[in-house]
Amino acid sequence: MAEATAPLTEFIRAYEQATNSHDITRLVPLIAPEAVYWFSDGSHRGREAVLRAIADTFATIRDETYRIDDLEWIVHSDDHAVCRYRFTWTGAVDGRPRSGSGRGTNVLVNNAGTWQMLHEHLSA
């Protein structure tokens, strides 16, 4: 089973690294145009709205490090995959050290041979 999900896990690690780069342009190819993200601050529909929400997070949480642990693939096929995990973050908000954690669920879709994030739901 691990071999079957290895490319998916590689995608999630690339997504994690792109997020930690704080460079929005690195996230663009990893997010599907029709993506919907549910964050604690609301819902974001479409890649541009998702990227704006992520950019707002980067502006609010300085020097953020985002980490995905306990990654579990609950459904996977050649075209779709669903995972759940625990996440943690550390950074500075208003110049003060802050951290948080929660759970995530992601839906990935294979668009013409390229995995992309179709949905992300993060909760504390």
In a domain, 50, yes or no: yes
pLDDT at 40: 87
Structurally, the chain folds into a number of domains equal to 1
Containing domain of residue 102, as a range? 2-21+32-123
In a domain, 26, yes or no: no
How would DSSP label each residue in 105-124?
EEEEEEETTEEEEEEEEEE-
Q: What ranges in 61-113 are assigned the alpha helix state H?
A: none
- Prediction pTM value: 0.93
Residue 1 has pLDDT above 70, yes or no: no
In a domain, 48, yes or no: yes
* Burial grade of 46 (CB within 10 A; 0-12, 13-18, 19 or more): middle
Average pLDDT value for residue range 88-101: 98
pLDDT band at 43 (very low <50, low <70, confident <90, very high): very high
